[in-house]
Chains A and B, each alone.
Chain A
């Protein structure tokens, strides 16, 4: 066994202010900060069994689901909120949040023409064309506004192949047996504080089922948008890839600019059966708050996949540029023999943002492989922590685990921290961990400027180069989007 890692000691940038350029992290306007004027059904603020019963009844759910929600809620009441992350989380008043907001008149739509024009224009502003004929390169979109799914495109075309891609609520109605079989199996409601909360109050999300032997012919994607004030968003996504199935899925997230903090506590569960593959990509651009840390989304998310079948594969790719606080560890449980888990991450913490992210990988069966590439970018007063847990059970002979974890610091008021944890119980495991911390060298910037690139463009170029290995994992159109996002998030940060 080989363990090659740095101690879990914070690496803090303590260089003196050697380049003023990189220090002046001013606030850049958040492009997606508009508020849409949509009539909403909002449940009054507060959390109680009554609220949960109301949500469940409102969604006409079967009783087993209500029971499950209530169990989760009762369990949540017994849990303390997690304190172990490298985050300063202000106390959250859970009674001051509304747990359900939905655009009015959300009766089932027969076609896109029936969609509230204001909702449609919200998505147009986000650059998400809902008209199927406008959707380039075959991307099927599910759009979740606040608590509910507004529209799912391309459904019929997918249905021809037996693929189910719909809102979670619809899946509960139309495919209750599938939902019941998998819900909470990967992330049980007892898993952690925010997962328990989500299980009690989740309102909508996406559901995907790819039948045996089917390769999903297009990218599936969900756009999440928080619009209503004083609400939280608690969505749940469940993706099941049956034997030999393949699916690539992408989620994008934005929210309006508000001075209050809004809570987003999602749960994502992936199930990969024999020889199937799930690629899950996230481009997260929730409102990050301003330069002083006022406002912004608290993004507390539990994402986990289970490689249940032999030779199955789950790959997480995330580009996290938004949110005031991000707390997120997409993980893979390698249960099937010869299964593979991957985690590719770019996390940016600028302004006063805090990110504590990373991954957990649990090797249970033999010949399992895990690969991790994490690129942290800290700027302004941003704090970025990578936390990675590698667990190799006794049964997991011949496990291979490779992690690379790089941090890029811009200016001298930000921080990068790396916390690798290893629990290796099988002697033949090969575990490698490499960590680097670097700054953008002044000479690199000067070289780019000498070729005519202004500082901001030079930084965007350098940062995109730094993150390239991860960005290359995204589907083409989204990689372009993610590059722009990184550039925008760093704009106004220098000069």
Chain B
């Protein structure tokens, strides 16, 4: 699914990712944990194609060279990023936004555009999946949404676009306890043998729900430790200092 080899990224000559390696196979859920400022969001943006980074290294995504693609081409290839800080779009309703996006993605995947009725049906289904109140569908994208509502809206969009690989950047931060469970259950329902998730988080709670196959620790721009879900428990207990002492 995804193979990252020796990935470097810098902004204004400041190195942030410093030789990162990661491999994700179809059907897997990976978690990335790591201290603030270690480069987790940078990794997600470099994968999604945000402009402004100097990038070196190789990233293969389902046989394509991901770094050669424009952001929208990465989306068409099945990459989705749930933003840590979702952006507001004044005057554009969630419905309109998703219809444009979904029809574009379908078109690129060789599917026909959806009839209005079919689209609305899918939209209601997916909104129900993450228990997003339908009133949010007619509101401008993220405008005036609370922090938690924005996160839930990201997962709704993910459900709509049916990606092959979804990167969730701290989607759990800002969610209340019930919302966290709902979002986690939503993600569980979307899991299939042919899609994968990369979940960036600081907390054990989401991982309790999601039961990741593999947990990584990202520190100072590199993955310094990889393990199973018990690694997350160990981090919860000990923090990052013991790893720092050992590896940096």
Which of A19, A443, A469 contacts B91 (CB under 8 A)? A469
Contact yes or no, B51 A446, CB < 8 A? yes
Does B136 interact with chain A (Cβ within 8 Å)? no
Which of A450, A457, A462, A464 contacts B81 (CB under 8 A)? A450
Binary per-residue interface labels of chain A (312-324) against chain B in the complex, 1 for a CB within 8 Å, 0 otherwise: 0000000000000
Contact yes or no, A452 B104, CB < 8 A? yes
Chain B CB within 10 A, most for which of A441, A443, A447, A450: A450
Chain A residue nearest to B109 (CB atoms) is: A452
| Given A467-B91, A468-B91; A453-B104 close (CB under 8 Å) | yes
Does B66 interact with chain A (Cβ within 8 Å)? no
Within B80-120, the residues touching A (CB, 8 Å) are: 80-81, 83, 86-87, 89-92, 96-97, 100-102, 104-105, 108
Does B157 interact with chain A (Cβ within 8 Å)? yes
Contact yes or no, B104 A457, CB < 8 A? yes
Which residues from A are CB-within-8-Å of B83? 447, 450
Within A430-472, the residues touching B (CB, 8 Å) are: 441-444, 446-455, 457, 461-462, 464-469
Contact yes or no, B100 A453, CB < 8 A? yes
Which residues from A are CB-within-8-Å of B65? none
Contact yes or no, B49 A449, CB < 8 A? yes
Contact yes or no, A452 B87, CB < 8 A? no
Which residues from B are CB-within-8-Å of A464? 91-92
Which residues from A are CB-within-8-Å of B108? 452
* Dominant secondary structure at the A interface: helix
Whole-angstrom distance between the alpha carbons of A442 and B75 in the complex? Answer: 17
Which residues from B are CB-within-8-Å of A461? 89, 92, 96-97, 100
| Given A444-B87, A465-B90; A454-B72 close (CB under 8 Å) | yes
Chain B residue nearest to A447 (CB atoms) is: B87
Binary per-residue interface labels of chain A (266-280) against chain B in the complex, 1 for a CB within 8 Å, 0 otherwise: 000000000000000
Which of A441, A451, A466, A468 contacts B157 (CB under 8 A)? A451
| Given A443-B87, A446-B50, A461-B92; A454-B81 close (CB under 8 Å) | no
| Given A446-B71, A465-B140; A451-B91 close (CB under 8 Å) | no
Which residues from B are CB-within-8-Å of A468? 90-92
Which of B52, B86, B91, B102 contacts A447 (CB under 8 A)? B86
Whole-angstrom distance between the alpha carbons of A453 and B108 in the complex? Answer: 11
Binary per-residue interface labels of chain B (39-55) against chain A in the complex, 1 for a CB within 8 Å, 0 otherwise: 00000000011111000
Does B200 interact with chain A (Cβ within 8 Å)? no
Which residues from A are CB-within-8-Å of B72? 449-450, 452-455
Which residues from B are CB-within-8-Å of A442? 51-52
Does B29 interact with chain A (Cβ within 8 Å)? no
Does B190 interact with chain A (Cβ within 8 Å)? no
Whole-angstrom distance between the alpha carbons of A442 and B72 in the complex? Answer: 14
Does B122 interact with chain A (Cβ within 8 Å)? no
Which residues from B are CB-within-8-Å of A448? 89, 97, 101
Tally of chain B residues near chain A (CB < 8 A): 31
Which residues from A are CB-within-8-Å of B49? 446, 449-450
Which of A19, A465, A469 contacts B89 (CB under 8 A)? A465
Does B11 interact with chain A (Cβ within 8 Å)? no
| Given A457-B104, A461-B92, A465-B89; A451-B75 close (CB under 8 Å) | yes
Whole-angstrom distance between the alpha carbons of A443 and B81 in the complex? Answer: 13
Chain B residue nearest to A21 (CB atoms) is: B51
Does B233 interact with chain A (Cβ within 8 Å)? no
| Given A457-B104, A465-B140; A451-B87 close (CB under 8 Å) | no
Taking the closest CB of chain A, its distance from the CB of B156, in whole angstroms, is 12
Contact yes or no, A466 B75, CB < 8 A? no
Whole-angstrom distance between the alpha carbons of A42 and B110 in the complex? Answer: 53
Which residues from A are CB-within-8-Å of B52? 442
Whole-angstrom distance between the alpha carbons of A227 and B81 in the complex? Answer: 51
Contact yes or no, A452 B90, CB < 8 A? no
Does B59 interact with chain A (Cβ within 8 Å)? no
Which residues from B are CB-within-8-Å of A452? 72, 75-76, 101-102, 104-105, 108, 161
Which residues from A are CB-within-8-Å of B243? none
Does B70 interact with chain A (Cβ within 8 Å)? yes
Within B8-46, the residues touching A (CB, 8 Å) are: none
Which residues from A are CB-within-8-Å of B71? 446, 449-450
Whole-angstrom distance between the alpha carbons of A19 and B51 in the complex? Answer: 9
Taking the closest CB of chain A, its distance from the CB of B17, in whole angstroms, is 18
Which residues from A are CB-within-8-Å of B80? 450
Which residues from B are CB-within-8-Å of A441? 87
Which residues from A are CB-within-8-Å of B157? 451
Taking the closest CB of chain B, its distance from the CB of A464, in whole angstroms, is 7
Chain B residue nearest to A444 (CB atoms) is: B87
Taking the closest CB of chain A, its distance from the CB of B47, in whole angstroms, is 10
29 contacts across the A-B interface (CB closer than 8 A): A441-B87, A442-B52, A443-B50, A443-B87, A446-B48, A447-B89, A448-B89, A449-B49, A449-B75, A450-B72, A450-B75, A451-B105, A451-B157, A451-B161, A452-B72, A452-B76, A452-B102, A452-B105, A453-B100, A453-B104, A454-B70, A454-B72, A457-B100, A461-B89, A461-B96, A461-B97, A465-B90, A468-B91, A469-B91
Chain B positions near chain A (C-beta within 8 angstroms): 48-52, 70-72, 74-76, 80-81, 83, 86-87, 89-92, 96-97, 100-102, 104-105, 108, 140, 157, 161
10 shortest interchain CB distances as A-B pairs: A465-B91, A468-B91, A465-B92, A452-B75, A449-B71, A447-B87, A451-B101, A452-B105, A449-B72, A452-B104
Chain A positions near chain B (C-beta within 8 angstroms): 19, 441-444, 446-455, 457, 461-462, 464-469
Given A446-B48, A452-B102, A465-B91, 13 new contacts (CB under 8 A): A19-B51, A451-B97, A451-B101, A452-B75, A452-B104, A453-B104, A455-B72, A461-B89, A461-B97, A462-B89, A464-B92, A468-B92, A469-B91
